[in-house]
């Protein structure tokens, strides 16, 4: 008791939930990366990496997948087009849609950023063995395979 206010004792004192751990780990990566080292912002990296893995995806689907609202994605893709890293083209089958792709120049920038990201991941995941890291990557991929991040709808 401090000043008459009861303090929590005992009960659940360990076992941090997945949400807390994911938050910590993600923040750890974000705080250790810098635009200078990556050659791009982390949000550029995430968008380009997803676009490379899903060539010709629609702008809308991209936003759903990486959790960026449609309006913010417009701005992000504008910037990626200005740097020459990505391209939008109209979907001939549905002229409302934009199909997005990484350019060769974007792929080169992405590859460079991946080198820098790997160093950060090595640091943040230093406590894990190579086998542990492979398992972690596999489980994360499996979890994301089914469920979209879910961008807000208008």
- Could you tell me if 151 and 64 are in contact, meaning their C-beta atoms sit under 8 angstroms apart? yes
* In the complex, least distance from residue 44 CB atom to a copy of itself, rounded to whole angstroms: 12
Using CB under 8 A as the binding rule, whether residue 4 contacts a copy of itself is answered as no
Q: Which residues contact 102 (CB under 8 A, 6 or more apart)?
A: 48, 51, 52, 55, 85, 86, 110
Question: Exposure pattern of 105-130 as b/e (b: 16+ CB <10 Å)?
Answer: ebeebbeebeebbeebbeebbeeeee
Q: What 3-state class would DSSP assign to 130?
A: helix
Instruction: State which residue, 75 or 122, has the beta carbon closest to a copy of itself.
Output: 122
Residue 68 Cβ vs DNA, minimum distance, rounded to whole Å: 7
CB of 114 to DNA, least distance (A): 19
Q: Binding a copy of itself by CB under 8 A: which of 18, 36, 96, 153? A: 18
The pair of three-digit structure tokens given for residue 109, joined into one six-digit string? 């920038």
Minimum CB distance to a copy of itself, residue 68 (Å): 9
Q: Which residues 35-74 are close enough to bind a copy of itself by CB under 8 A?
A: 42, 45-46, 49-50, 52-53, 55, 65-67
Contact partner, 53, from a copy of itself, DNA, none, Cβ < 5-8 Å per class? a copy of itself
DSSP letter assigned to residue 92 = T
The interface partner of residue 119, options being a copy of itself, DNA, none and the CB cut-off 5 to 8 Å by kind, is none
Cβ-based neighbour number of residue 37 at 10 Å: 15
């Amino acid at each position: 008791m401090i000043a008459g206010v009861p303090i929590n004792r005992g009960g659940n004192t360990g076992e941090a939930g997945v949400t807390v751990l994911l938050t910590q780990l993600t923040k750890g990566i974000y705080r250790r990366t810098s635009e200078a080292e990556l050659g791009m912002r982390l949000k550029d990296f995430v968008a380009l990496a997803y676009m490379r893995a899903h060539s010709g995806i629609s702008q809308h689907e991209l936003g759903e997948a990486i959790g960026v609202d449609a309006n913010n994605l417009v701005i992000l893709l504008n910037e990626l087009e200005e740097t020459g890293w990505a391209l939008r083209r109209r979907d001939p089958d549905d002229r409302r849609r934009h199909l997005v792709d990484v350019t060769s120049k974007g792929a080169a920038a992405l590859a460079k950023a991946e080198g820098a990201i790997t160093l950060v991941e090595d640091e943040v995941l230093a406590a894990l063995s190579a086998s542990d890291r492979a398992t972690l990557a596999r489980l994360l991929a499996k979890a994301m395979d089914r469920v979209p991040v879910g961008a807000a709808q208008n």
